[in-house]
Structure 1
Amino acid sequence: MRYNFQFDIVKHRRKFFALSIIITILGLLSLAIFNLNYGVDFKAGTNFDINVGQTTDQAKARDVLTQAGYTPASPPTIGGTNSDRVTVRFDKVMSQEDETKIGAAFKSAYGDQVSMEVNTVDTEIAREMGRNAIIAVLVSTIGIVIYVSIRFEWRFAIAAIVALLHDAFIVVSLFSIFRLEVNLPFIAAVLTIIGYSINDTIVIFDRVRENLRFAKLKTFQDLADLVNRSIWQTLTRSINTVVTVLIAALCLFIFGSPAIRLFSLAMIFGLISGTYSSVFIASPIWLVLKNRSLGSKAANAAVEK
């Protein structure tokens, strides 16, 4: 008896594959042409975190810097509405003299209560942090592949790793296309997304494996029905989970400080991409791989007869 689906996900798998391929190509083009907009964490530069002791705004902070003869890499950011914190980033390492002049300029505009914290990253440290970030993503990905291979089978592992790379690359591509700053919180967001995505994918895979125990698979349609049924049986759980986390990420993005705004935005991109890949990419890829084994079994049976 066929399962009565509201929407046949498997039937439209090629459309979802095509959409992901198109986004991937656009992301590759953007990275090739524009690269990423690296923050001070991944390139040499200096970051000033200034507490001016009174409510300020971006225009006034920019005027202070202009009058002092400095142009930051990006407009100064304010901690939020009625905030007294100003963050200024320069894409070069500032000297002690520059730091003193900037501090004096803000004290002249806001008073002696101004305090300032300066963080400088030189070229070698920036390169090392970039290497460590790549290693962290690779190690976490390899660990996930090993875990899925042991708990399930190699077909599930391949489908899971494709979905993980898909999610991470979608977030990276969007940050490249919209020229959003890539910093250490961004890497933390990518690692969080990888963990969330594999959790969502494994929930679906676990249901697929459970349904396999009672299924008699002879044709591709039998396998397609099993995958569709497994997805729909876990879809409510997936939607509830992503909506709950998405609300939290949106609140952080809207009401949080600028320091975590890009982290929140990366999480929003990743949550949407992770849910999409778990439902529309990972499971159909496993279906394609599994169907090949069914074809091999059928061919072997025919030869034996």
Structure 2
Amino acid sequence: MRLKLVPSETNWPFFKRAKMTFGLSAVLFVASIVVFLTMGLNFGIDFRGGTTIRSESSQPVDIAAYRDAMAGLELGDVTITEVFDPSFGPDKNVAQIRIQAQDEVESITPETIAAVESALQTIDPAITFPSVESVGPKVSGELIKTAVLAVVLAIGAVLFYIWLRFEWQFALGAVAALVHDVMLTIGIFSVLQIRFDLATIAALLTIVGYSLNDTVVVFDRVRENLRRYKKLQLVEVLNQSINETLSRTLMTSVTTLVALIALFVLGGDVIRGFVFAMIFGILVGTYSSVFVASNVLLFLGVKRDWSKSDGGGAGTNFGNVKA
């Protein structure tokens, strides 16, 4: 017996509320920008610079006691957080001590790290320090620029690729969906103040690739149906194409989410930010392939026969079709 997420043949009216769904996307997009500008991101050590010391103890983490023990070291801005993970046993209590870089110093000295460890050992002599990571402020600034450039270049490459493979209307629809997905992911990270580091940038680039793949599958079917059904209105062709690829889209998304949810629950806190970004990105990417990219294509319109020159009229044949 085969698993079916949707019936073999569907005819759901995806564009019945086109203005509402597209308006919702626009509101969420603008809200994400506002939240990002007002609240900012909780940048990890990769982007802020400084040193992160990870501690493990059999005793419960007492953040106030840790802070009091380190108060005499005069390290400036110090953040101490307890790391929760369902895979940790009762005797494994993990804390993360983040010491911000100051005065353009690439990292705190080994003597300072040893002083921090000694101070914490006065609370628990058996405490261990499995990892110490340091990033200087200059390096972190360069990483921010490189990360932004990587995302912009990826979206630009997508625009060029879709333009060559399809038409410029398809390219703009695909890029609109990608920008929508990336911005909403950044917005949720800003709202929840989840740590934003290089792993998150990797997740954003992965989301761009996943969303593009989803959109191209729909657009390929749209192009085929535009040639096959020359008398159907564009909105009908789009709706039929989405219904025909719906089973594939949902099956791909669900199977990917199953693996990601398992990683989110069992993978540990080190990759949790990356996995969360992937989960959220797949959800909004699946949504945007239908309700953003296709809506933009409906608004711009497309020509019907690619074997002939459009005489400069591409994008106007069905641009006035009402959804």
TM range (shorter): 0.7 to 0.9
Quick one: which of 198, 213, 237 aligns to 2:212? 198
Aligned to 2:246: 235
Residue 37 of structure 2 corresponds to residue 32 of structure 1? yes
Higher helix share: 1
Q: CA 1:114 to 1:36, structure 2 compared with 1: closer, same or farther past 3 Å?
A: closer
- In 1, the alpha carbon distance for the partners of 2:181 and 2:80 equals 28
Quick one: which of 293, 298, 322 aligns to 1:287? 298
- In 1, the alpha carbon distance for the partners of 2:141 and 2:289 equals 33
CA-to-aligned-CA distance 1:7-59 (integer Å, 9 cap, x gap): 31123111111101111221122122112221111112211133x4x5454x2
- In 1, the alpha carbon distance for the partners of 2:11 and 2:317 equals 31
Aligned to 2:82: 76
- In 2, the alpha carbon distance for the partners of 1:85 and 1:295 equals 57
- In 2, the alpha carbon distance for the partners of 1:47 and 1:113 equals 16
Q: CA deviation at 1:74?
A: 4.4
Instruction: Report the 3-state secondary structure (helix = DSSP H, G, I; strand = E; otherwise coil) of the residue aligned with 1:216.
Output: coil
Q: CA deviation at 1:72?
A: 3.5
Q: CA deviation at 1:287?
A: 1.6
Aligned to 2:54: 49
What are the within-5 Å matches in structure 2 for residues 192-231 of structure 1? 192-217=206-231, 222-231=233-242
TM-score, normalised relative to structure 2: 0.81
Instruction: Report the 3-state secondary structure (helix = DSSP H, G, I; strand = E; otherwise coil) of the residue aligned with 1:73.
Output: strand
- In 2, the alpha carbon distance for the partners of 1:44 and 1:294 equals 50
Instruction: Report the 3-state secondary structure (helix = DSSP H, G, I; strand = E; otherwise coil) of the residue aligned with 1:11.
Output: coil
Q: CA deviation at 1:105?
A: 3.0
Q: CA deviation at 1:135?
A: 0.9
Unpaired segments ≥5 residues, structure 2: 1-8, 103-107, 304-312, 319-323
What are the within-5 Å matches in structure 2 for residues 54-69 of structure 1? 55-57=58-60, 59-60=61-62, 63-69=65-71
- In 2, the alpha carbon distance for the partners of 1:180 and 1:49 equals 18
Quick one: which of 19, 22, 25 aligns to 1:17? 22
Quick one: which of 177, 193, 213 aligns to 2:191? 177
Instruction: Report the 3-state secondary structure (helix = DSSP H, G, I; strand = E; otherwise coil) of the residue aligned with 1:76.
Output: strand
8 Å CA contact 1:62, 1:76 repeated in 2: no
Root mean square deviation of aligned Cα: 2.5
- In 2, the alpha carbon distance for the partners of 1:67 and 1:108 equals 8
- In 1, the alpha carbon distance for the partners of 2:280 and 2:316 equals 39
- In 1, the alpha carbon distance for the partners of 2:41 and 2:124 equals 35
Unpaired segments ≥5 residues, structure 1: 299-305
Quick one: which of 116, 120, 125 aligns to 2:139? 125
Instruction: Report the 3-state secondary structure (helix = DSSP H, G, I; strand = E; otherwise coil) of the residue aligned with 2:47.
Output: coil
Identity %: 32
TM-score, normalised relative to structure 1: 0.86
8 Å CA contact 1:77, 1:88 repeated in 2: no
- Larger deviation, residues 287-296 vs 122-131: 287-296
8 Å CA contact 2:211, 2:286 repeated in 1: yes
Q: CA deviation at 1:5?
A: 6.1
Instruction: Report the 3-state secondary structure (helix = DSSP H, G, I; strand = E; otherwise coil) of the residue aligned with 2:228.
Output: coil
Q: CA deviation at 1:117?
A: 3.1
